[in-house]
Chain A
Amino acid sequence: MTRIRKFLAVSVLLLPLFILGCNTNSSTIEKNDSRLKILSTIAQIGDLVVEVGGTRVQSTVLVRGELNPHSYELVKGDDEKIQGANLIIYNGLGLEHGASVAAMIDIHPNHFALAESIRDRYPDKILWKGTTPDPHIWMDVSLWREAVDPITSQLIQLDPEGKSYYLARAEILKEKMGKTDQAIFELIQSIPDKKRYLVTSHDAFHYFARRYLASDGEVDWARRFAAPEGLSPDGQLNPIDLQKIVDHLFVYQIEVLFPESNVSRDSIRKIADAGKKMKIDLLVCREVLYGDSLKGSYLEAMMHNAQVITEYLYRDRPITLNLDSARRSQIEAKRSVGGSPFPIGKGDEKDRFGEVAASLNSKLLAGRGIKKDVHEKSV
């Protein structure tokens, strides 16, 4: 091979390194700032910190943009953020189970688990999948509102002079959250009961379902939400998961699939494709929902979700599902047995693999105890 060709081949191989290396991590904490430096793991927490902390706090978020908080591992630049922070606020309940993140949190002298503090105060309100807790608490704005007070007291602890400042801002925030919560509730409830079913990419919307999708006093609200991937979307799918969704679509005559912003669309595409083969016209929503990530502020994202869901579910379309008789009787049989194909909230089910998953979260959950017999009571 001539010299020129060799040179070209090598530079083709190395070019991508240059391209990717050009993206510098611009959000480093300046050490000379006198403000309180709070590092939040996810944007949903960071947003609250910004609102409460205002100008007295410099807030940074670890898992930026569309990255997956479940499997996030530390990258170059995160070390500085961590070392420079006065306090790390993380979600807990097994959300951040990347090993490097868990280790980092443990090492830091000052860290606080937000969702776990909510769990400690309202153990009944936490949802469980087998023996694994569902960490997506922020999807229920009314419950996430309970996170404001712990944040405020943490800030006050670190910066006692700003007490009145933080308290005032916290009140404003809580009121805003209350209003948004109500608005979302009304919007979603305006969807007729028969249509109020949500199918997305992964198990992020259980709290959302319980708060907003459930009809008044409904006990069996769990059926209103389903997704092929589990609590942590890592792509290890089983065809059974997809089949369960398709059956679910049939049983409740759901026609719309909602992709999420940072989860692979492969499973949604496959379900829509399978649906086409079975002669159902499934619509894949053109907009994304924000489950694990955010766009704009937390409240804006939640509102966006509600609006998109309402718009797509409330369409006045005739139901066009065509079932052949064999399939129909199969489904009727399932319906008569009752219950949800996706057991959620029953903490007393035998869940062998849940134990394995739970033990993997040992860093964060150790010493806090997994309450196996807690199940959710109707609100």
Chain B
Amino acid sequence: MKKAFKVENLFVNYDRTAVLWDVSFSIPTGVLVAIIGPNGAGKSTLLKASLGLVRPLSGNIEFSGMSLEKARSKIAYVPQRESVDWDFPITVLEVVLMGRYGRLGPFSRLRKADREAARSALDLVGMSEFEDRQIGELSGGQQQRLFLARAIVQNPDLFLLDEPFAGIDLATEKTIIELLKKLRALGKTIVVVHHDLPTVNEYFDWALLLNTRLIACGPVGEVFHKENMHLTFGKGAALFEEAANLSAKSLSGL
């Protein structure tokens, strides 16, 4: 059985500082995975490098045995909410329809099927009545649900979500996690960059502990314990980061 998301020996640098160092893991299909680590651990970078948004130094990435180019249409990426200009003149429905742009050629029009898919995705996330609203009028939770709807409309096999639970209310959080569990039940693989440690056990099946290097990757019960937490968040781990910083400084002449 091909792994949904397989990474081998991934090295990513940013300005001569190592952000990801020799990261290797593989995630099977149909699991809900939390990527956990301290700030600056490279969690977002891991997602970005997998999608080609950031160029890695070296490494091999496979999606169900296929390269990124072949698998692109089956991957949905939900970036951080703050990366977007919420003052942009666009309605909720138009944002969801954007999910369909990937599979349209430059000259093909959006068809009725696309619009219906968008509407049903909005219905799934409970945002149907906001269809014609400007995105600037949405609350944080509504914005996140909108992004999720856009991802759903892409009909992917793999979801990559970057900090979806940051800065949203509890009710929305519950709604979203229910939705993710439903998607998992349909056989989708969902990878989430997560920051709230207490909820890991409750929400997720698998956990990927990251702090520039991979600490552990596996079912929550197996890897999410004190020793690994110490390795990820503890002082021992911080040492590596300090050393990396020093190296970066001396290489830039400071």
Direct chain A–B contact by Cβ atoms under 8 Å: no
